[in-house]
A = this chain, B = another copy of it.
Amino acid sequence: MIIRDFNEAKNTERKVADARWNSVRMLLANDGMGFSFHITTIKAGSEHTFHYKNHFESVYCVSGEGSIEDLATGEVHDLRPGVMYALNLHDKHTLRCKTEMVFACCFNPPVTGTEVHQADGSYAAAD
């Protein structure tokens, strides 16, 4: 059994960050669960375009307010606590955060922890 506390993990290398977001990796590929699980916090007023071509991701809003735009269809959906979006079609999307937002995110295949966002908004596939 693995036990991890977000409030401890956020002070370790499990936290990856740039100026506008951070993500605390509660589970990574080497935990052997077949998915990774991240608590991701995004800055108020920021906008992010991602395109996870090599991963499925689900994103559950724990706190905050914002919106998600599906760039294939132009549809915009409000995000608030309890709303989840899932990128079942590897959907290219833009996330806009009105307030600071906290999300519980699952990735399949699991993130290894060393990925960086590429110019196209994706994470590279693991080797």
Which residues from chain A sit less than 8 Å from chain B, CB to CB?
A: 1-7, 26-27, 31-35, 37, 39, 56, 58, 60, 62, 68, 70, 75, 77, 82-89, 91, 93, 104, 106, 108-109
Q: Give the residues in chain B near A91, CB-CB below 8 Å.
A: 1
Apart from A2-B86, A32-B56, 5 more pairs, CB < 8 Å:
A3-B68, A6-B60, A27-B58, A35-B106, A37-B58
A3 touches B85 (CB 8 A): yes
Interface of A, secondary structure class, is: strand
A77 touches B3 (CB 8 A): yes
Q: Give the residues in chain B near A4, CB-CB below 8 Å.
A: 83-84, 86
With contacts A1-B89, A5-B83, A77-B3 taken as known, whether A35 is within 8 angstroms of B35 at the C-beta atoms is: yes
A6 interface neighbour in B3, B33, B37, B84, Cβ under 8 Å? B84
Return A72 CB to nearest CB of chain B, in Å. Answer: 8
